[in-house]
Amino acid sequence: MEFSQSVQHLIRENEPLAPLTWLQVGGASRFYAEPCSLEELRCLVADAQRLGIPFRLLGDGSNILVRDAGCDGLVINLSSAELSSITVTENKLICGSGARLSHAISHAVGAGLAGIEYLAGIPGTIGGAVVGNAGVKNCDFGSRVTRVRIIDSEGLTSDLERSSLQFGFRHGNLDGTVVVEVEIGLEPTAREELTRRMQAAWIVQRAAQPPSGTRGVQAFVDPDGASIAEVLEEAALKGYTEGPVALSSEFPGFLVVNGVASSDQVLALIGKVTQSVHARTGIQLQPQLRIW
């Protein structure tokens, strides 16, 4: 399979993906690339379309579960400096999709710009935040997005203005889109006040998550009108385990892995919990994880 000459040097075959995800389970990708520039990313997207192979974009791996069989396609890692850049222009933050959300928040606070500081402590990248509309109570990322730059199937870039964007609870209309840049509109505010808000939000978020270094992810989102903790308690599933995979008894909705585990075991636990919750409460849990 022939990729364009300009990106052939980037292509690696049978690349293990487990080390690149928070759960550290799963197989390899048939093809893998880490583009260093927008031009290389555009070429990879166009090549994938031309060759008829599926492709996926990888951020920090905080919400990805790779199947044990791996990915029969191309995985593109967006961690390069150019694709994760962050700049401040007047009252706007312009971020590459590979930039970490936490870094964007720090830049905004340092520049005295308010609007996303309440999202401190949420893991992931800018690309993931805009596609999944990351949010907390009374604050969501999408409400601050003024423009999104995307790549089409031919490798060409175009801008989607605010009027073309739609955001709801933990979702938007960008799923399946190759996002390369996000423009965020903010308001000038005293840095001291923003620092206080950011630190308070970070403390709240971190208190609700397993400690750093834990092989864990948020498997489910809070259902409408209830908390995931209440739902799991009612279904008698708090702390439920499937071999080395378990629902955290301390951090509701989080799934943790201890020791050697497989993606099949993770999927088995998710399936069991989803079915049991629906049978006992009538609530259909929505998964937070993206299954590759």
The residues annotated as belonging to the active site are 170
Contact (CB, 8 A) for 102 and 45? no
Q: Dihedral of CA 196/212/68/246: which sign? A: negative
Q: How far apart are CA 17 and CA 229, in angstroms?
A: 31
Nearby residues of 26 by Cβ (< 8 Å), 6 or more positions away = 17, 18, 65, 66, 67, 68, 70, 263, 292
Q: How far apart are CA 97 and CA 252, in angstroms?
A: 29
**Which residue in 128, 129, 157 sits closest to 143, CA to CA?**
129
Q: How far apart are CA 286 and CA 220, in angstroms?
A: 6
